[in-house]
Structure 1
Amino acid sequence: MTEPLDPPSAVRAASDLAAGPLRSVPADLLTAPTPCRDHDVRALVDHLAWAALLSQRAATRTPLEHDWSRLTPAPFLDGVPVDEWAAAVPAELDTAADAWADPAAWEGETLMGTTPMPAGVVGPLLLAEFAVHGWDLARAVDAPYDVPPALGEAVLAAVAPLAAMGRDGGWYGPEVPVPADAPAFDRALGLTGRDPGWRC
């Protein structure tokens, strides 16, 4: 039986895992497709950048005001050449994991951008963002991505309660059937509308 990860360790594991493919993004693949609908590699890197920043702010109860209809990169990428964006994101993921290492980050209510939400919901939601979008990127650039079983269980536990709402809200695609005895991370991918066997 897989020993479960405590929440701060799960965030750390997800951020470390997602950092791997970010260090493997060549400039000639920035426009390559990914398993994440409507996102090429460049857009996915920027999405992970915003997720890292959103996670940092949520852990520290700091609002993040942004007009999400505007296609502007995360502030720490301002002035950075696009082909260097991916290399700049792992440090921000690391900062997010450090912020969630504080037990107080998991208590009470926090902010998802500017929306109040329970910290115990936001933390898992954002670690799932890191792990799932890291997988998207790894598939797109053909980078290794080995999800430890305990992290897979944490991602599945985060995704499962929100999957129906995610599909209704357009964050997730239609559920992809995955065998019930498949690894937990594969089942989480299926719930988010991803085919675990996707290849570019």
Structure 2
Amino acid sequence: MTNDEPLRPGAQPRIGDLLRSAAARAVPVVGGIGDASLGAPTPCAAYDVRALLNHLYGVVVHFQALAAKQSAELSTTTDWLADADWRDRFETETGKLVKAWSAPGAEEGTTGGMGLPARTVGTMVLLDLTVHAWDLARATGRDFTPDPVVVDGLVGEVEAMAPMARKAGVFEEAVALPGDATPFERLLATTGRDPYAPLV
């Protein structure tokens, strides 16, 4: 499977394969962000583009360790954009993330400080890579369409983790959408994002 080959519906895909497809959609979004856009607002009210990029960068890097059942200091603040080649490095780090979650046993057992099922932890980084790519595309005036199989792979897990995520302040309250909303728009709404709302 190449980096941009769509996943096939059917049996439950492995996290590594889902991440490979998600990375193929996210990397061009990040690579296309110009310096002039770094201060722009995003659908995540607490983050401008630069802050959201730093958050996503940290997730991509630290979740490599979690795939290997190692500890990761997720609260560490790093300016990943300090290096001039941060766009190329993001592609490199997402490649490492895919490799880490594609390793034998990566999605088995438990991992992370909360002792969560490894597949749930893998789903968390898959969600961040997918939803934050949309956030960044929206913030910089571009369209973003994830692989439908990635969306399918996220829906059940995200609905299950939503109450815990809202309690932790990671998700906002779900947004009501019209009946013709797409599965991805409904996924965004579950996280508290309104896919139709203008940025302010």
TM-score if structure 2 supplies the norm length?
0.85
- Give the conservation status (yes or no) of the 8 Å contact 2:174–2:191: yes
User: Which residue in the other structure is 1:169 paired with?
Assistant: 168
**Structure 1 residues 79, 139: closer, same or farther in 2, change over 3 A?**
closer
How far has the Cα of 1:51 moved from its partner? 0.9
User: Which residue in the other structure is 2:99 paired with?
Assistant: 98
| In structure 2, C-alpha distance between the alignment counterparts of 1:147 and 1:139, rounded to whole Å | 13
> Could you list the runs of 4 or more consecutive aligned residues of structure 1 that deviate by over 3 angstroms after TM superposition?
84-87
How many matched pairs? Answer: 190
What is the letter of the counterpart of residue 182 of structure 1? A
For residues 125-162 of structure 1, give each alpha carbon's deviation from its aligned partner in whole angstroms, at most 9, with x where no partner exists.
21011101111011011233122221111122231111
User: Which residue in the other structure is 2:111 paired with?
Assistant: 110
| In structure 1, C-alpha distance between the alignment counterparts of 2:138 and 2:45, rounded to whole Å | 13
For residues 78-130 of structure 1, give each alpha carbon's deviation from its aligned partner in whole angstroms, at most 9, with x where no partner exists.
8514xx5344212111110111112310111122xx44221021111210111
1:80 aligns with 2:50: no
What is the letter of the counterpart of residue 100 of structure 2? A
More displaced, 95-104 or 40-49? Answer: 95-104
User: Which residue in the other structure is 1:122 paired with?
Assistant: 121
What is the letter of the counterpart of residue 66 of structure 2? A
| In structure 2, C-alpha distance between the alignment counterparts of 1:174 and 1:130, rounded to whole Å | 21
User: Which residue in the other structure is 2:182 paired with?
Assistant: 183
**Structure 1 residues 78, 195: closer, same or farther in 2, change over 3 A?**
closer
**Structure 1 residues 10, 179: closer, same or farther in 2, change over 3 A?**
farther
- Give the conservation status (yes or no) of the 8 Å contact 1:14–1:131: yes
Q: SS at 2:106's partner residue?
A: helix
1:49 aligns with 2:57: yes
Query: Could you list the runs of 5+ residues in structure 1 that have no partner in the other structure?
Result: none
Q: SS at 1:106's partner residue?
A: coil
| In structure 1, C-alpha distance between the alignment counterparts of 2:175 and 2:82, rounded to whole Å | 39
TM-score if structure 1 supplies the norm length?
0.85
In the alignment, which of 12, 15, 28 is matched to residue 20 of structure 2?
A: 12
Q: SS at 1:61's partner residue?
A: coil
**Structure 1 residues 144, 88: closer, same or farther in 2, change over 3 A?**
farther
Query: Could you list the runs of 5+ residues in structure 2 that have no partner in the other structure?
Result: 1-7
Superposition RMSD in Å:
2.1
- Give the conservation status (yes or no) of the 8 Å contact 1:138–1:144: yes
